[in-house]
Structure 1
Amino acid sequence: MTDCTPLLDAVDRIADRFRSLPQSRLLAAADGGGASRAALGLELARALAASAQREEFPGAEPRRIPDLGVFAIGDQIAVAGHDLAAALAAGGGREGASQGEASREDVLEEALRAVAETARRCGL
């Protein structure tokens, strides 16, 4: 069974940080320019949700999380991250990767990297 505690901790931490940011910081450009913190947070939520959907419904096209505004991003990250953790924990007995498919551990590591990278880019 895949231990998803590190993912849950990381997702809860970054979601709480997004929830506490004022609108001005959410809309400000992150990492010295480019995309806003809100855009990067939404991108993270979408990536986590897509990974969860690929785990739960292999072969189906993942649906995209809608943009519900800057104040919903923390919640979207939390929900998508918890969905991914639940999908990885359930796993359906899949231990390794089949041809062209990432293992649960690889998916978990990629999700942790994405959370850490978003936190770094957003200065959180």
Structure 2
Amino acid sequence: MSDRAALYAAVERLSGRLRALPQRRLQAGAAAEGLELARWLARQAQELEFPGREPREVPDDGVFVVGDQLAVAGHELVAALDHGPARAEEVLREALRRVSAAARAVG
């Protein structure tokens, strides 16, 4: 499996886990962890695709949508890796590390 496919799969697993968590677990920090990761992934995707433009921040739309926000941000980063070949490998390695850390934190 390629690193891009591994990132895509890891984001899918974590976003699915976040969608399935009960409200109390989301409110106890899992949603915040997911939102922080979604924001980082989205920022990296925007910087690769639109260098020089100020990235937009993923909004905090509540604990019940963070799984979807994470999935979208992760998919967009995988697609954006083609736009920044000079930084793509570095960003990909860091994204894999961060998704793995967030999955451990979420449980």
Q: State the TM bucket, normalised to the shorter chain.
A: over 0.9
From 31, 43, 47, the counterpart of 1:50: 43
TM-score of the superposition, structure 1-length normalised?
Answer: 0.81
Find the counterpart in structure 2 of residue 74 from structure 1.
67
- Alignment RMSD (CA, Å): 1.4
What are the superposed Cα offsets for residues 6-48 of structure 1, whole Å, 9 maximum, x if unpaired? Answer: 11000000000000001011111xxxxxxx1111110000000
Counterpart Cα distance in 2 of 1:22 and 1:82? 24
Give the gaps of 5 or more residues in structure 1: 29-35, 98-102
Q: Pick the structure with more helix per residue.
A: 2
Counterpart Cα distance in 1 of 2:10 and 2:3? 13
From 83, 86, 89, the counterpart of 1:91: 83
Map of 1:7-86 to 2, 5 A cutoff? 7-28=7-28, 36-86=29-79
- The amino acid of 1:91's aligned partner reads H
Q: What is the total number of aligned residue pairs between the two structures?
A: 106
**Percent identity between the two aligned chains:** 58
TM-score of the superposition, structure 2-length normalised?
Answer: 0.93
Give 1 or 2 for the bigger CA radius of gyration. Answer: 1
Give the gaps of 5 or more residues in structure 2: none
4+ aligned runs moved over 4 Å, structure 1: none
